[in-house]
Amino acid sequence: MTINDFVKKVDAEIVFGEQFLDRTIESVCASDLLSDVLATQKHNFLLITGLCTPQVIRTAELMGSVGVVFARQKYPAQEAIGMAKVHDIPLLCSRLDMFETCCRIAGMGLEQ
């Protein structure tokens, strides 16, 4: 699955990173607790969260996330967008809550 496939499946808005939509997503990490994200053993994962702080971008960069999705119609702060641009981390916004976002991509071949 690519980021572009995800965008189409959940009708996400691309905030930054149209040039990275061909990145492959191997798994998903959905959490509002950054400590859970830091403990993940996943690789090439898409981070789905309701947090919109710059710390989310730092965590995504540190853990090797292929992109960040902000659930529940949340929009990242300008500082977070700027950090994502520096680290080439695509940012997406979903109008769906985290559960519905995950349900829509279930069964699409992602690592559990």
- Alpha-carbon Rg for the chain in angstroms: 12
Whether 44 is in a domain gets the answer yes
The answer to the question of residue 110 being in a domain is no
> Which of the two residues, 112 and 98, has the higher pLDDT score?
98
CATH number at residue 51: 3.40.1390.20
Q: 111 in a domain, yes or no? A: no
Q: Taking the complete model, does pTM exceed 0.85, yes or no? A: yes
What pLDDT sits at residue 49?
96
Give the confidence band of 112 by pLDDT, cuts at 50, 70, 90. Answer: low
**How far, rounded to the nearest angstrom, does the alpha carbon of residue 91 sit from its chain's CA centroid?**
7
H or E stretch including 46? strand 45-49
How many structural domains comprise the chain? 1
Q: Is residue 65 domain-resident?
A: yes
Confidence of residue 78 (pLDDT cuts 50, 70, 90): very high
Q: Residue 26 to residues 4, 68, 81: CA-CA distances in angstroms?
A: 13, 14, 24
Domain that includes residue 71, residue range: 3-105
Q: What pLDDT band is residue 105 in, cutting at 50, 70 and 90?
A: confident
* Structure confidence at residue 106 as a pLDDT band (50, 70, 90): confident
> Scanning the structure block, which residue is given the tokens 């939509």?
21
> 112 in a domain, yes or no?
no
Does residue 87 lie in a domain region? yes
